[in-house]
Structure 1
Amino acid sequence: SDVQELGWSIAVGVAYLRALTEAGFSPAVAASLIEFRFAATDEQFPTIAKLRAARQLWARVLELSGAEGVEMRIHAVSSRPMLSKYDPYVNMLRGTVAAFAAGVGGADAVTVLPFDSANGVPDGFGRRIARNVSHLLIDESHVAAVADPAGGSFAVEQLTADMAAAGWEAFIHIEEEWEQGRDFSPFRDRIAAVSAEREKAIARRRRPITGLTEFPNLAETLPERPVDPLNERVVRYGASFEALRDAPATTKVFLATLGTVAQHTARATFATNLLAAGGIGVEVAGATSDAEDIAGKYRAAGAPPVVCLAGSDKTYAEWGAAAIAALREAGATHVIIAGKPDAVDAEVDDAASMGVDALAFLTATREKLA
């Protein structure tokens, strides 16, 4: 987390201060030899607050060390885990937000990773775009023209203060654990807990990743890049969804749309996007009038084993149960409903609605398609 990154960075900085002063350097000279590198993400305000909080924390450390007046040097690098391999052009936006936040947060140097870094070794175009992000922010947005662009904003000031307080607490905690037994396993466990919580939010799409978990495009052609061994060591935030996309399902789900387009389009769109996030295509029935009509279109589509009903609450109540019965009779073995499972007066095998564990749902659906 941002707080853990602050706590760990300050702890490492203090360790270097101690080592350098023990080697004979004065605290001021030792402090001048240290540069901090932080991740800048597309979470704009937390990134701004993190960099501002880092300066406050390090200033306090130098005050206690007798090295006041030495400026903290910060090198911000756009986060590699936040990049997505699929729909990589969205990474241009992520990198721009990260670079803007780093500049506003007061970074002395900013490195923007090319948008195609997750696909392998970036090409010339990717490197050029990454370089130009900083040029645009400095020369056209004038981010560098103000000493502290976020200064005075209550939201940023409060977030900075909260993050600094939590970061100092994390730093003290790490120091205590190190003194007690030089064991970092508790810290690693806390990192693992944060990572698990983040993965849970991504799996439920409460933390959306555009182009991957939201608005995926199954027909896209990924840019081909030489293999970059560094990517093998990076766990991207959407790695679980990328794994599903890497091996797309060969059988489509029949999207049993009930009623007119106006009646089913909302849930049909939701279901299509959700299934596409797992590499699953759909065969859409289109406008339908009754159970017999939808069963006929299901047979014409080849009668795939998995069916997903999509319609309004009214059509579910009127003839959803009859549609399910007709589809099962025509060969459907796994029936999903887009919405709550009790929206239709019939037994369904699964349901998909807002807040569903998308990763678990998609994995289960792919197993039924196999």
Structure 2
Amino acid sequence: MHKIILISIFFIGIFSKAQDNQFYSDAYQTIDNMLNDKQKYSFKEGVFAVENAYYQGKYDTVELNNKIKFLKHFCNLLLKNRKLTYTDKDEAKVNKYAAIYTVMCEATPVIMKNDTLKYKPFAYDFVDVFGHTELSNLFVSKLLNTQKGNCNSMPYLYKILAEELGVDANLALAPNHVYIKHNIKSIGWYNTELTSGIFPIDAWLSASGFIHLDAIKNGVFMKALNNKESLALLLVDLANAYNRNYPGNDGSFALKCAERAIQIYPYLANALLLQAETHTKQFQKLMKEQNTKDIQATLSNSKAKELFDIMNKEYTHIHKIGYRSMPEEMYLDWLVSLKTERSRYEDTRLHN
């Protein structure tokens, strides 16, 4: 009898873990299907798939969709009741960009019967900016529920709202950072920085000191990502969520996500780093199994030697394409500099 109970508990444990992992398998498949054009593209569905996997299926998509519908409705009210001083052929598109920007970044008066309320925009949350304490602090769901977010969730939501309104929005990357790039007929490319609600010139990005010329040339940073490249970014998010849920995993799922992302976007630094760091963890695990801290002793193992050579090659490649890591404290100072030195970095072409 006791053996039967123990065996039952054993299989329940395996089944439970398999169910947990299934959420990640499903999320990966959703994104991969969109990459393969087997499923209609939707950045929102990709984001929801990642966050739902982290929450193990306890994600309230109905509530979140309702909040997105409200924001979309608010954008449409702005489109109906105001007009920009912009007359180029892409006027309709530019008006939508302006509406999303207003909803996300500006306090807006809303007339309700005989009263006027002031809509509160989204704000930057300086608590746990990198999600070290809780990964969900980087999520769109957290932004929608609290009106506070960061350089991950805010541009993601902007892109979602743009697609809800039927226009494109290009994500772009800088060290530790995501922002929006648009291309319009009157001025060409311009940047939208959601964390501070400012349109910065490219000089602000290079002012960080961590954007190497090779990184720009290779499209590591400051490149306008297409929709599939944005989905590749979500694959890295999915792997990071999996690693947070299962810290002792063997690295196979993370490598699967990284390799697929690199196929789509060969210079995606986040994916290249994920790949190299996963191989590093696998090498460290072999050292631990051999009960040694001596790298040379570990290299006598052929598998360890192969891993060591692979990860060194990967880190060399990452450096060669121009990627440079930016210390977190310096990142926060750089982010704040956009407001403190606004007159220096703001794109004056967008004043009207």
TM-score normalised according to structure 1 size: 0.24
The structure where helix makes up a greater share of residues is 2
TM-score normalised according to structure 2 size: 0.25
